[in-house]
Amino acid sequence: MKAFLILEDGHVFTGRSIGSTREAVSEIVFNTSMTGYLEVLTDPSYAGQAVVMTYPLIGNYGICYEDMESERPWVDGFIVRELSRMPSNFRCEDTIQNFLEKNDIPGICGIDTRALTKILRESGTMNGMITTNENYDMDEVMKKLKAYSTGDEVSKVTCREKSVLPGAGYKVALLDLGAKRNIARSLNERGCEVTIYPSFTTAEEIIASNPDGIMLSNGPGDPKACAQVIKEIRKLYETDIPIFAICLGHQLMALATGADTFKLKYGHRGGNHPVKDMETGRVYISSQNHGYAVNPESLDPKVAVPAFTNVNDGTNEGLKYVGKNIFTVQYHPEACPGPQDSSYLFDRFLKMMEEKKNA
């Protein structure tokens, strides 16, 4: 069946339908990872977005449900050059086509994803529609595309009630803003007892549980849409509890302490982004998924200083908070998919909790 991808700037790509045949309007973004498409599909940070995979062949190792980063996929649509319909891998449990159909996710294959990515790089991220309607009305489509915005996606993807991963070590409170499973798993593997809290949890409840440390997770959307969460994070900042924040959590902590964020032209999404430790000069290859960044010029140097920077474009990739047991990063040390270069940051967090407990 024919399918069409219609962009806000008027570009139309014609290909074949994959997955659901329902119509979908969303923000169109691209991911440069060569593997890990299932983790991309199930990363809550992609809520409200349709993902273009720049690697040309997707689906060749099928679906392994153990690799899912949440209970369900969150992308609004999936866009690929070529879809492998006959996967081959000893862990394979399903095909990507069946997975998309079962989860009602529309997609399109057989289009020039290189040309599409170039448009998004040059013009910036924009809204788009995936449709199988060959008789679409361009004027009506444009109205829908102009009217679409992602809004508050965090409230959609967060857990509904708290849960606990038992452990004999430090007690960590994880605020779920759209957390990937591997964040809690990375802490739990280091012996931590991890209590996962919904995003609407008050700071008072978290503080009352007397955690050894607090983790602020990744998540979707514009950080400025999370006004209430920002207020609660400010209260957490005022305590002396060690805090480690990733991605959206990093942005929200910055906003909670008076800094500003801005939307990137086309974002950073993929498993091959170089970040530089500004203290040691060492460069790490990182997994990233974000469309917003902290403006380093808005930082009060008495509150926070840049700790990591993006080698490609110089944007901020992490902050160290002055006089506080708090550090935050824009990228994903838990990876999945992506390199494990930055997993040591979890060990740094454990060391912070140890030093606080022994102080």
Ranges of each domain in the chain: 2-147, 154-358
Say which DSSP state 315 is in. -
131, containing H or E segment? strand 126-131
Mean of pLDDT over the chain: 97
Count of beta carbons in the 10 Å neighbourhood of residue 260: 15
Segment 328-341, tens digit of pLDDT: 999 999 988 888 89
The answer to the question of whether 298 is labelled as a binding residue is no
Cα(224)–Cα(350) distance, integer angstroms: 29
> 274 burial class (0-12, 13-18, 19+ CB within 10 angstroms)?
middle
The answer to the question of whether 291 is labelled as a binding residue is yes
The answer to the question of whether 178 is labelled as a binding residue is no
At residue 88's C-alpha, the angle toward residues 85 and 93, to 5°, is 85
pLDDT (mean) for 192-206? 98
pLDDT band, residue 127 (cuts 50/70/90): very high
**Chosen CATH of 2-147 out of 3.50.30.20, 3.40.50.300, 1.10.730.10, 3.30.360.10:** 3.50.30.20
Cα(148)–Cα(167) distance, integer angstroms: 43
pTM for this prediction: 0.96
For the annotated catalytic residues, the residue numbers are 247, 332, 334
CATH code for the domain defined by 154-358: 3.40.50.880
Category of 205 on φ-ψ map: left (φ > 0), alpha (ψ -120 to 50) or beta: alpha
The answer to the question of whether 221 is labelled as a binding residue is yes
The answer to the question of whether 292 is labelled as a binding residue is yes
Segment 209-225, tens digit of pLDDT: 999 999 999 999 999 99
The answer to the question of whether 284 is labelled as a binding residue is no
Please spell the DSSP secondary structure of 48-93, one letter per residue: TEEEEE-SSEE-TT-B-GGG-SSSS---SEEE-SEE-SS---TT--
Segment 32-84, tens digit of pLDDT: 999 999 999 999 999 999 999 999 999 999 999 999 999 999 999 999 999 99
